[in-house]
């Protein structure tokens, strides 16, 4: 079967490999249909690493997938061949202290698709997953359901933020997760939403999804002056030092900073005096915890609005082109997907 592999920094190739097979009675064999390119995939593509997780080439990335169940293990009762599914790419041990504490997303033995040193990703024709990680999706959100995984992260992050109604919210970074967070805050009744991004097409999408005010910091750099100490909640969805500085500056005393973005550097810094004087709370979001069903339901209710987030589809044979375009934020790219 064909598998897309990172073969060097910025280089992908289609290689042949043996198809996988079911090894345990609770697993299913999935035929991949479509895979979304995530910001984290782009980090591995560009840099060959995220922090200490370093790619050993060749390696398949990708974890946001739509698939059709091809074969099921003997004990699988919840799925049948032909079912259309999305899957949680995080496979937890279900036996460690974190799993017992209801935190399977920070499982000590977590294996995540497309994560170096853990599991190969899903940018390939067939993969094997535990049945419990798979969620059937109805025809009406197929193939839009490729957004379920990033949407689950946005909804989980919003839950950390607590009450959103009548709150002033700032979104830094308007990729798919930033835009999903923004849209959720809009529906949840935020009184003011501002969105900051360097890509104009993403700011337009932010406006469409409910932002009252948008800014491109490269052009204007006026975010701090206009909005100093006014916001209840700031979502960092880009991992950029400048954005984090702005977020701390625009938060009001008692405000919350929710960090979802992945920095491209290994150290970020904060002004401790600003954080301390305003008593800012910082939340770190590690992907998501048990939000797949909510994300599917949210997508079902809001499919028209969220449709515009998927801007490009490429065939597997154009994988290099797809990653180059997504990585350079060209042509108004928001979510770029690969049809397998
Ligand atoms: Zn993702
Ligand atoms: Zn565990």
DSSP 44-97: HHHHSEETTEE--SSB----EEEEEEEEE-TT--S--TT-EEEE--EE--S-SH
Domains and CATH numbers, the chain: 2-136+309-339 (3.90.180.10), 151-284 (3.40.50.720)
CA-closest candidate to residue 179, choices 51, 302, 279: 302
Beta-carbon neighbours within 5 Å of ion ligand 1: 38, 64
Whether the pLDDT of residue 286 is over 90: the answer is yes
Beta-carbon neighbours within 5 Å of ion ligand 2: 92-93, 96, 99, 107
- Report how far apart, in Å, the C-alpha atoms of 291 and of each of 6, 105, 164, 184, 297 are: 29, 11, 18, 14, 10
Number of helical H runs and strand E runs in the chain? 11, 19
Whether the pLDDT of residue 225 is over 90: the answer is no
Distance 109 CA to ligand 2 centre (A): 5
- Cβ-proximal residues to 57 (8 Å cutoff; 6+ apart), any chain: 5, 6, 7, 8, 48
Distance 314 CA to ligand 1 centre (A): 18
Distance 160 CA to ligand 2 centre (A): 22
CA-closest candidate to residue 278, choices 338, 229, 333: 229
Distance 87 CA to ligand 2 centre (A): 18
CA-closest candidate to residue 94, choices 112, 113, 107, 78: 107
Distance 150 CA to ligand 1 centre (A): 5
Whether the pLDDT of residue 224 is over 90: the answer is no
Distance CA 268, CA 164 (A): 27
Distance 106 CA to ligand 2 centre (A): 7
Whether the pLDDT of residue 221 is over 70: the answer is no
Distance 27 CA to ligand 2 centre (A): 18
Tens of pLDDT, residues 129-154 = 999 999 999 999 999 999 999 999 99
pLDDT score, position 240: 94
Partnered with residue 179 across adjacent β-strands are none
């Amino acid at each position: 079967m064909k598998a897309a592999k990172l073969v060097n920094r910025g280089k992908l190739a289609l290689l042949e490999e043996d198809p996988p097979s079911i090894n345990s009675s609770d697993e299913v064999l999935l035929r991949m249909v479509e895979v979304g390119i995530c910001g984290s995939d782009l980090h591995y593509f560009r840099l060959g690493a995220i922090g200490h997780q370093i790619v050993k080439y060749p390696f398949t990335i990708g974890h946001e997938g739509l698939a059709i169940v091809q074969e099921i293990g003997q004990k699988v009762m919840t799925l049948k061949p032909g079912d259309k599914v999305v899957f949680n790419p995080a496979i937890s041990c279900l036996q460690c202290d974190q799993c017992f504490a209801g935190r399977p997303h920070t499982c000590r033995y977590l294996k995540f698709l497309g994560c170096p040193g853990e599991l190969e990703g899903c940018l390939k024709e067939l993969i094997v997953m535990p049945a419990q990680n798979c969620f059937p999706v109805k025809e009406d959100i197929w193939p839009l359901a490729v957004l379920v995984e990033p949407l689950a992260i946005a909804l989980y992050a919003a839950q950390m933020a607590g009450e959103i109604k009548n709150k002033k919210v700032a979104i830094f970074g308007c990729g798919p997760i930033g835009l999903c967070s923004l849209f959720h805050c809009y529906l949840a009744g935020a009184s003011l939403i501002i969105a900051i991004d360097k890509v104009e097409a993403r700011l337009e999408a932010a406006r469409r999804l409910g932002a009252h005010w948008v800014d491109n910091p490269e052009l204007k750099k006026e975010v701090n002056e206009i909005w100093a100490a006014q916001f209840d909640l700031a979502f960092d969805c880009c991992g950029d030092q400048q954005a984090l500085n702005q977020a701390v500056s625009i938060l009001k005393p008692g405000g919350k900073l929710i960090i979802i973005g992945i920095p491209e550097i290994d150290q970020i810094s904060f002004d401790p005096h600003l954080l301390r004087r305003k008593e800012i709370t910082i939340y770190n979001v590690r992907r998501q915890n048990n939000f797949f069903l909510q994300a599917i339901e949210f997508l079902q209710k809001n499919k028209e609005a969220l449709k515009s987030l998927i801007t490009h589809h490429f065939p597997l044979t154009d994988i290099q082109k797809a990653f180059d375009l997504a990585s350079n934020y060209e042509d108004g790219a928001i979510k770029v997907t690969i049809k397998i």
